[in-house]
């Protein structure tokens, strides 16, 4: 078996076995008391990490965490409390998007050196670049949790065993009727392709390589997303794999990634599932895969384990700031965003 296939097989096997990892001696700080902060807290409980500190902004978030977790919970915001926190094995920043980079810079300034930013890190690639500029020895990664889905790595293993991907198509249609408006800042909605659709887009290009050639088209517009409502495109990846995409935010549809090999077609629909259509057939059948923690949000426990193990990260990989900048720039082209961070 070629070495690259062995490596891909090992990635899946190690992700599905993360429950066996002993992390009870690790310390973790979570900055942010919203939905994602709670997801990380729940995953840490499943991983038996007991030394957890959580900094929330307000008293309501403090109460929410106090009622659910037996952790050290501090209300009042990271600006006030982060300088008083001792060194932690991992800092998770799950604040509102506009506060992620400021929190990360303060974490670095106050001596933290292993930092996980909730995706996308920033809506502005220039801001991510400014953070990358001050990094010395610190490990800072961006939490594209779907890239650590067990089914995603099972798919990578299967296609490598079949000789690789020959083509790909994906759909990032958004369910606009489900978007919680009047919750985030205006930029979050105007740049929804970065703040949300990159979940799907990153999965597709992690499988086939970043675009070498890309033709992108935008049609229509929405009051809250003026750059378009229908997005069509195609191109060739750096691995010479042809791809196409389609998304219509004013119609029906769902997130989806489909890839083809010379033997089979596979689809991630939903992204948490895995299905195969064997060559010469039309029926899509589920593919079995193992999950370490079924009751946690997919990919979150996996991210924590990988961030705490340098050897494991070298095998599986996490999204670096450099790669996150590439994703943001790619989204700017797909969605025709002309943006700068002032």
Burial class (CB in 10 A: 0-12, 13-18, 19+), 154: buried
Is residue 315 within 8 Å of 7, Cβ to Cβ? yes
pLDDT in tens, the chain (342 residues): 343 444 566 788 888 888 888 898 999 999 998 899 999 999 999 999 999 999 998 776 766 666 677 788 998 999 999 999 999 999 999 999 999 999 999 999 999 999 999 999 999 999 999 999 999 999 999 999 999 999 999 999 999 999 999 999 999 999 999 999 999 999 999 999 999 999 999 999 999 999 999 999 999 999 999 999 999 999 999 999 999 999 999 999 999 999 999 999 999 999 999 999 999 999 999 999 999 888 889 999 999 999 999 999 998 999 999 999 999 999 999 999 987 654
pTM of the model: 0.93
**Cross-strand bridge partners of residue 167:** 260
Centre a 10 Å sphere on the Cβ of residue 262 and count the other Cβ atoms it contains: 10
Q: Check residue 230 and give its pLDDT.
A: 98
Q: Check residue 219 and give its pLDDT.
A: 98
Cα–Cα distance, 306 to 309 (Å, whole number): 5
Phi and psi torsions of 318, nearest 5°: -130, 165
Q: Check residue 329 and give its pLDDT.
A: 97
Centre a 10 Å sphere on the Cβ of residue 174 and count the other Cβ atoms it contains: 22
Q: Check residue 294 and give its pLDDT.
A: 85
**Cross-strand bridge partners of residue 52:** 28
Phi and psi torsions of 190, nearest 5°: -60, -25
Q: Check residue 326 and give its pLDDT.
A: 98
Q: Check residue 11 and give its pLDDT.
A: 82
Q: How many CA atoms lie within 13 A of 288 on its CB side?
A: 0
Alpha carbon 138 to its chain's center: 20
CA angle 319, 24, 61 (to 5 degrees): 70
């Amino acid at each position: 078996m070629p070495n690259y296939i062995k490596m891909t097989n090992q990635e899946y096997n190690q992700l599905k076995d993360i429950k066996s990892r002993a992390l009870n001696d690790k310390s973790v700080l979570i900055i942010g008391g919203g939905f994602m902060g709670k997801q990380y807290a729940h995953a840490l409980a499943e991983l038996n990490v007991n030394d957890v500190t959580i900094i929330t902004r307000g008293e309501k978030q403090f109460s929410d965490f106090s009622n659910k977790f037996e952790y050290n919970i501090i209300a009042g915001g990271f600006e006030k409390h982060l300088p008083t926190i001792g060194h932690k094995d991992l800092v998770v920043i799950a604040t509102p998007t506009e506060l992620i980079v400021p929190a990360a810079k303060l974490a670095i300034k106050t001596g933290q050196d292993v930092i996980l930013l909730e995706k996308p890190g920033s809506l502005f690639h220039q801001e991510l670049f400014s953070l990358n500029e001050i990094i010395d020895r610190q490990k800072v990664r961006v939490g594209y949790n779907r890239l650590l889905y067990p089914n995603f790595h099972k798919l990578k293993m299967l296609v490598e065993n079949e000789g690789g991907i020959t083509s790909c198509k994906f759909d990032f249609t958004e369910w606009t009727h489900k978007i919680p408006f009047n919750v985030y800042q205006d930029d979050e909605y105007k740049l929804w392709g970065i703040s949300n659709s990159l979940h799907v887009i990153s999965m597709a290009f992690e499988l086939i390589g970043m675009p070498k050639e890309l033709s992108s088209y935008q049609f229509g517009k929405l009051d809250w997303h003026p750059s378009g409502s229908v997005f069509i495109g195609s191109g060739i990846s750096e691995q010479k794999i042809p791809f196409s995409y389609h998304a219509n935010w004013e119609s029906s549809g769902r997130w989806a990634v489909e890839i083809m090999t010379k033997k089979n077609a596979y689809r991630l629909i939903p992204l948490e599932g895995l299905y195969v259509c064997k060559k010469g057939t039309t029926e899509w059948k589920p593919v079995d895969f193992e999950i370490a923690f079924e009751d946690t949000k997919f990919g979150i426990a996996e991210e924590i384990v990988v961030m705490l193990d340098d050897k494991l990260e070298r095998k599986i990989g996490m999204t670096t700031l450099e790669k996150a900048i590439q994703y943001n720039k790619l989204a700017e082209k797909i969605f025709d965003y002309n943006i700068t961070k002032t």
